[in-house]
Amino acid sequence: MHLPKVAAAAATLPWAAAVVTRQASTTVTVNLSRRYQTIDGFGFSEAFQRAYNIYNLAEPKRSQLIDLLFNTTSGAGFSIVRNGIGSSPNSSNDWMNTILPTGPSSPAAMSNASYVWDSKDSGQLWVSQQAVKYGVKTFYADAWSAPGFMKSNRKDSGGGFLCGVAGATCSSGDWRQAYADYLVKYIQFYQQSGVNVTHLGFLNEPDISTSYASMLSNGQQSADFIRVLYPTLQIANLSSVNIACCDATGWKIQATMTQGLKDAGVEDMIGIITSHTYTSGVSGTLPTSRKVWETECSDLSGGWSTAWYTNGAAGDGFTWANNIYTGLTSGNVSAYLWWVATQDKATNNNNNEKLILVDGGDYVVAKRFWAFAQYSRTIRPGATRVGISGGSNLKTTAFQNADGTVAVNVINSSTSAAVLSVAGVLKAASAKAWVTDASNDMTPIAVTVGADGSVSGVTVPGRGMVSFVISAAASSTYQN
Ligand SMILES: *[C@@H]1O[C@H](CO)[C@@H](O)[C@H](O)[C@H]1NC(C)=O
Ligand SMILES: *[C@@H]1O[C@H](CO)[C@@H](O)[C@H](O)[C@H]1NC(C)=O
Ligand SMILES: *[C@@H]1O[C@H](CO)[C@@H](O)[C@H](O)[C@H]1NC(C)=O
Ligand SMILES: *[C@@H]1O[C@H](CO)[C@@H](O)[C@H](O)[C@H]1NC(C)=O
Ligand SMILES: *[C@@H]1O[C@H](CO)[C@@H](O)[C@H](O)[C@H]1NC(C)=O
Ligand SMILES: *[C@@H]1O[C@H](CO)[C@@H](O)[C@H](O)[C@H]1NC(C)=O
Ligand SMILES: *[C@@H]1O[C@H](CO)[C@@H](O)[C@H](O)[C@H]1NC(C)=O
Ligand SMILES: *[C@@H]1O[C@H](CO)[C@@H](O)[C@H](O)[C@H]1NC(C)=O
């Protein structure tokens, strides 16, 4: 798959040389002066009891799977975990149990609330603690709903509204402060267990009503709660926790909700605007100055497939390499999260919503996982997206990591390969590259680093992806 190195003469520094095409050689040019959004990372959830798929695996498989998810050398190096904050009376099926199983009779009685911490949190605490060991620092805790006793429909499933927001007047009173206190309590339980929640959401897909936990909200109603949640976090010394809103089912609905939050005057209280991509995919930026995260996506309808490329199917690894590219570029996202990392065969008719099938004491990894790894392992939290241009039929992104290294990701949309050079970055001291395609999973490949600091000689297979991490020579300065 990998052509031999090309002559170092292909070097095209200085960067202003832009695109140089000689025979089958292509140059992409990085512009470190052109700076875009900051990246928080890439991640997944193990909500809905999915965490137990990992927890219940016998060793050594269990450790291998954790390593695959979080190791930055051999795994995907995922840097964000999204946990579901439970609201249900029990933990069967897709329900996640609440930390307040017996609701007080009124909001005023919350001061006597009997919280119950089971130190499991539907298996998510253990997965989070493993992530901490690998250096993961970003934990997004997201409630699908408030507990039923705080809601207009008196149960945590089947939609309903949080009592006290616009249009939801309940005889039991205004439960907004109670819900804010509840979410703070959850964060404190995690803190005591060695995991710092950094981002907090209070809704999941608030535009639909479901048989699992769900709570409806529009932008105005979300703002009504954020005005209570924000000061509650401050008073609890949790001002560093970023409020997230609103995990709508798709980009278009989230755009409307985001406008609603702005119109209500709470944009400044929000840390991140969050959206899923089920009912509509990433179609440009959302109307906000806040960071934007894509917080859930998957292929819900396809049957289990590990393929890299079939025909552009919704479950193909190559499709997701392209989707992540679109999120990072057109969508201006700072994070890109898949839905569940693991699932067994029996659940949801063995569909394609998981990255890894865990069944019968073993696991199988889909190529979608390696599409994420291409980005997640090379673009680390704190990286800034920078300019890159050049090459036809290529989808390229570049990032300057916090440690100064430069990540370059190249998807070749054509069906055959060519040799690539990267120019304009800096005088490279060293460079690494990894390829993923039908027969490779982040396979390390040789890169030519010339005496002049040029980077060249890498083949990007047709319908394949290569990511680089380039380190500067100690004495060199950035070119731009
Ligand atoms: C690099 O980006 C800067 C800032 O956007 C821009 O002024 C400059 O023209 C770019 N250089 C090239 C070669 O495109
Ligand atoms: C990650 O994997 C590498 C290579 O297998 C190994 O040396 C390293 O110890 C692993 N890191 C952690 C934190 O386990
Ligand atoms: C578990 O909680 C859900 C959600 O409230 C409820 O519909 C279901 O009946 C409960 N199951 C059991 C066994 O209690
Ligand atoms: C809390 O519990 C104490 C002791 O049972 C009781 O005296 C008090 O009235 C309760 N407070 C509220 C607000 O219900
Ligand atoms: C969590 O935050 C506390 C207080 O800011 C800090 O002391 C602790 O080291 C953090 N824990 C982790 C695992 O990052
Ligand atoms: C918040 O921190 C301040 C200063 O350290 C302390 O006095 C206060 O008790 C803390 N409040 C809470 C709710 O922990
Ligand atoms: C991209 O997101 C950043 C925040 O991460 C924001 O400051 C910037 O305005 C956004 N750019 C566009 C074009 O929306
Ligand atoms: C991608 O594949 C096409 C073949 O259709 C080739 O022309 C092109 O040079 C390749 N690009 C890279 C950078 O490998």
Residue 93 CA: nearest ligand 3 atom is 1
Ligand 4: does its nearest atom lie under 6 Å from the Cβ of 109? yes
- Residue closest via CA to ligand 7's atom 5 equals 291
pLDDT (mean) for 298-323? 97
Express each pLDDT in 142-162 by its tens digit: 999 999 999 999 999 999 999
Q: In the prediction, which pLDDT does 25 show?
A: 82
Question: How do residues 217-268 score in pLDDT, each as one tens digit?
Answer: 999 999 999 999 999 999 999 999 999 999 999 999 999 999 999 999 999 9
Give the predicted TM-score (pTM) of the model: 0.93
Ligand nearest to the CA of 108: 4
- Asked if residues 283 and 255 have their Cβ atoms less than 8 Å apart, the reply is no
The 3-class SS string of 255-297 reads HHHHHHHHHCCCHHHCCEEEEECCCCCCCCCCCCCCEEEEEEC
* 237 C-beta closer than 6 A to ligand 6: yes
The closest residue, in CA terms, to atom 13 on ligand 6 is 236
Q: Where are the domains of the chain?
A: 16-34+386-472, 40-382
Atom of ligand 1 nearest to the CA of 389: 14
In this structure, the residues whose C-beta lies within 6 A of any atom of ligand 3 are: 88-90, 92, 95, 155-157
Ligand 4 centroid to residue 108 C-alpha, Å: 10
Q: For residue 329, report the distance from its CA to the centre of ligand 6, in Å.
A: 41
What are the angstrom distances between the C-alpha of 391 and each of 42, 71, 434, 451, 480? 26, 32, 19, 24, 20
- Whether 351 lines ligand 5, by a CB cut-off of 6 Å, is no
Q: Which ligand minimizes its atom distance to the CA of 30?
A: 1
* SS3 state at 105: coil
Superfamily of domain 16-34+386-472: Golgi alpha-mannosidase II (2.60.40.1180)
Which amino acid residue places its CA nearest to atom 5 of ligand 8? 414
Output the CA 342–ligand 7 centroid distance in Å: 32
Confidence category of residue 422, pLDDT binned at 50, 70, 90: confident
Cβ–Cβ < 8 Å for 290, 297: no
CATH for 40-382 is: 3.20.20.80
- Cα-to-chain-centroid distance, residue 62: 22
pLDDT given at position 139:
99
pLDDT in tens, 23-43: 468 999 999 999 999 999 999
Q: Position 373: which residue type?
A: A
Mutate to test the pocket of ligand 6, among 185, 233, 237 (most ligand atoms within 8 A of CB): 237
In the DSSP assignment, the letter for residue 227 is H
Using most ligand atoms within 8 A of CB, pick from 48, 49, 87, 88 the residue to mutate for ligand 3.
88
Q: What spacing in Å lies between the alpha carbon of 462 and ligand 8's midpoint?
A: 6
Q: Is 81 in the pocket of ligand 8 (CB under 6 A)?
A: no
Q: Do domains 16-34+386-472 and 40-382 have the same CATH topology?
A: no
Q: Look at residue 43 in the predicted model and tell me its pLDDT.
A: 98
Determine if ligand 4 sits within 6 Å of the CB of residue 108: yes
| Mean pLDDT across the chain | 93
Does the beta carbon of 135 lie inside 6 Å of ligand 5?
Answer: no
Atom of ligand 4 nearest to the CA of 111: 13
Q: How far is the CA of 243 from the centre of ligand 4 (A)?
A: 31
- Three-state DSSP state, 97: strand
